[in-house]
Amino acid sequence: MISVNFRDPRPIYEQIKDNLRRLIVSDVLPADSKLPSVREMASELAINPSTIQRAYRELEAEGYICSVPGKGSFVCATDDADRARQAELLGKFDELVTELGYIGVNKPMLIERLKGD
């Protein structure tokens, strides 16, 4: 389900957060699914519980999961989170397209790339 690559330059909490976000967005973890407890996941991945806690906290701030005191963490309905993430990624995309334009990548090249052919 979740994998950690210790050779990845990204921090472990970001890898966990990205993995969970991907599972939520792709509906592998549907809304209202209960996530493993921090201790369970830390034990399963053999990492510090505070690392899992940080990933959960950031996912909660982004609107992907909800914590219920005494019950655990659950996947939230992601419409607002999806819109926020979409806006964030489109902003990054715009920055990349602008930079690509500076180094000579033109519109037809970008369109061809987007088509995936």
DSSP track, the chain = -----TTSSS-HHHHHHHHHHHHHHTTSS-TTPBPPPHHHHHHHHTS-HHHHHHHHHHHHHHTSEEEETTTEEEEPP-HHHHHHHHHHHHHHHHHHHHHHHHTT--HHHHHHHHHT-
Please report, for the chain, the start and end positions of each structural domain, with discontinuous segments joined by +: 12-77, 80-115
Task: Give pLDDT, residue 23.
Answer: 92
Give the least confident one: 40-44, 48-52, 92-96: 92-96
Domain 12-77 class in CATH: mainly alpha
The sign of the dihedral angle between the CA atoms of 59, 22, 39, 48 is: negative
> Taking 90 as the threshold, does the pLDDT of residue 2 lie above it?
no
Model confidence over 55-95: pLDDT tens digits? Answer: 999 999 988 999 999 999 999 876 666 777 778 888 889 99
Task: Give pLDDT, residue 117.
Answer: 59
What is the pLDDT confidence band of residue 1, given thresholds at 50, 70 and 90?
A: confident
The rounded mean pLDDT for the chain is 89
- What's the angle, vertex CA 86, arms to CA 84 and CA 87, rounded to 5? 65
Give the global pTM: 0.69
